[in-house]
Structure 1
Amino acid sequence: MKPIRIVAVSAGLGRPSSTRLLADRLAEAAGRELENGGRPVEIRVVELRDLAGDIANNMVTGFPAPALSEVIGTVTEADGLIAVTPIFTASYSGLFKSFFDVIDNTALHGKPVLIAATGGTPRHSLALEHALRPMFAYLRAIVVPTAVYAASEDWGGGDARHGELSARIERAAKELAHLVRTRPEPAGADVAGDAGGNAAGGAAPVTAFQEQLASLGLD
């Protein structure tokens, strides 16, 4: 039986990194949800920190090094993607954006994506909605309704705040797992979009996903 493949991309710069910690927790939660369906699940977490030089060279030359090429293939062929970035100056990090800039802009068409971010203050949480969600909408991915943001105080702010973060993680993981299980097969090779960024014939899968989410009370 073909396994379900989930890839989490972490753009954390430190080691250890709260961004990597959040990516791990989201991946683990999504894995638990998907394992309930009876199919094997493969989870991989990618640290962009290790590929920073290759990403920069790719931006200049247009050619990925072998390690970067392998990661790009893993991300684009995954059944579901978890994308986590630290927030700097109210937006995603340059490393995070550069990685997705070197991926073909049709490669994530129709792919279920869970977006998440970390930051020093809760004031940065809206970056998920004004920066990350529009970026993945432009790439025509299917972004789950619940985005997960973890400020510094969410990690050490007592049981109540930690419990709120855990609840958001579980909710987002449930939504991603549902979309992965019900994702339709790509409708042929025609993924060309119009000037407004809408894929030809691409509205139906989005509508179907929205209806399925609503039936589960996840809209």
Structure 2
Amino acid sequence: MKPLTVVAVNAGLSEPSSTRLLVDRLAEATVAALDGREVQVQVIDLRDLAVDLGASMAAGFATGAAAPAVRSVQNADALIAATPVFNGSYSGLFKAFFDLVDVDAMTATPVLIAATGGSPRHSMVLDHALRPLFSYLRTVVVPTGVYAASEDWAASSGDTTALAERIDRAAGQLAALLGATAPSSAEQSPPEHDGTASAEAAGIANFARLLGGS
């Protein structure tokens, strides 16, 4: 069976980066949810492409190192996209990169969206900025977006358990779109107990197929 390709786009600028940390956690959870499938994960750090992205915007098409990065996203089986929040929205670097993606190249591609910020107040960026962007690109965005505020990483002040649960839930939804099988424990449960999870996975997959055929 052909390996699944999951591409993760990290728009974090600092080093170390909480956005990159979130990307790594999401990628690991997705691989775990795809238990039994061979998965190849590629992480694209946009900070390394900043100069080429500027040149590409001026040229009107992807040039330099930005070109293979864009091709990787367009050819991916699934995408994880994460950005820090700047002025209430995604970063300029994040927008510049996805402005280079062909609007027809990602139709029905499963996408997991994520963002980081200093305050929980910015969590709505997922629904107000990221979802519309990827809807325009005709992708299928999983229901659970993951936002991590600074306090979510600190066990003393944030709710690290809640963040871990959101990461696992979103990764599970991405895996469902990729055709992952349900965990063995769920398979052994009586139908009346696992019907909700099965219905959710089936509904997401059906929506993806409908979108791909439109």
**TM more than 0.5:** yes
The answer for the alignment partner of 2:21 in structure 1 is 21
User: In the alignment, is the contact (CA less than 8 A) between 1:175 and 1:213 conserved in 2?
Assistant: no
8 Å Cα contact 2:151/2:157 also seen in 1? no
Alpha-carbon distance in structure 2 between the residues aligned to 1:159 and 1:172: 23
Paired positions, count: 187
The code of the aligned residue for 1:109 comes to T
- Take 1:214 and 1:55, find their aligned partners in 2: how far apart are those partners? 33
**Equivalent of 1:164 in 162, 165, 168:** 162
1:61-100 pair list within 5 angstroms: 61-100=59-98
TM-score (norm 2): 0.83
- Compute the displacement of 1:210 (Å): 6.4
1:212 — aligned with what? 202
**Structure 2 Cα separation of the partners of residues 82 and 39 of structure 1:** 18
Aligned CA distance change for structure 1 residues 84 and 45 (closer, same or farther; 3 Å): same
Which residue type is aligned with residue 60 of structure 2? G
State how far apart, in whole Å, the 1-side matches of 2:121 and 2:47 are: 25
Q: TM-score, length-normalised on structure 1?
A: 0.81
Kept in 2: contact 1:2–1:39 (CA 8 A): no
Give the unaligned 5+ runs of structure 1.
183-208
Q: SS in structure 1 opposite 2:65?
A: helix
CA deviation map 1:56-114 (0-9, x unaligned) = 11111124234211111111111100000000111000000110001111111110000
Over the aligned positions, Cα root-mean-square deviation in angstroms equals 1.9
SS of equivalent to 1:181 = coil
Q: 1:89 to 1:160 in 2, by over 3 A?
A: closer
1:193 aligned residue: none
Distance 1:111 1:158 in 2: 38
| Equivalent runs, 1:110-125 vs 2, <5 Å | 110-125=108-123
Deviations 1:23-66 (A, max 9, x none): 000001001111x2x32111111100000111111111124234
Tell me the residue number matched to 1:9. Answer: 9
Partners of 1:48 and 1:161 in 2: CA distance: 29
Partner residue, 1:200? none
Alpha-carbon distance between aligned partners in 2 of 1:158 and 1:108, rounded to the nearest angstrom: 41
Structure 1 distance, partners of 2:148, 2:159, is 10
Residues of 1 paired with 2:157 and 2:174: CA distance? 26
CA distance in 1 between partners of 2:11 and 2:81 (Å) = 8
State the 1:159 CA deviation: 8.2
Change (3 A) 1:9 1:211: closer
User: Match for residue 136 of structure 2?
Assistant: 138
Of residues 35, 56, 59, the one that matches 2:57 is 59
The CA distance in 2 between the partners of 1:159 and 1:2, in whole Å, is 43
- Shift of the 25–62 alpha-carbon distance from structure 1 to 2, 3 Å rule, reads same
Structure 2, unmatched stretches of 5+, are 181-198, 206-214
What is the letter of the counterpart of residue 17 of structure 1?
S
Q: Percent identical across equivalent pairs?
A: 55
Contact 2:176 2:201 in 1 (8 A): no
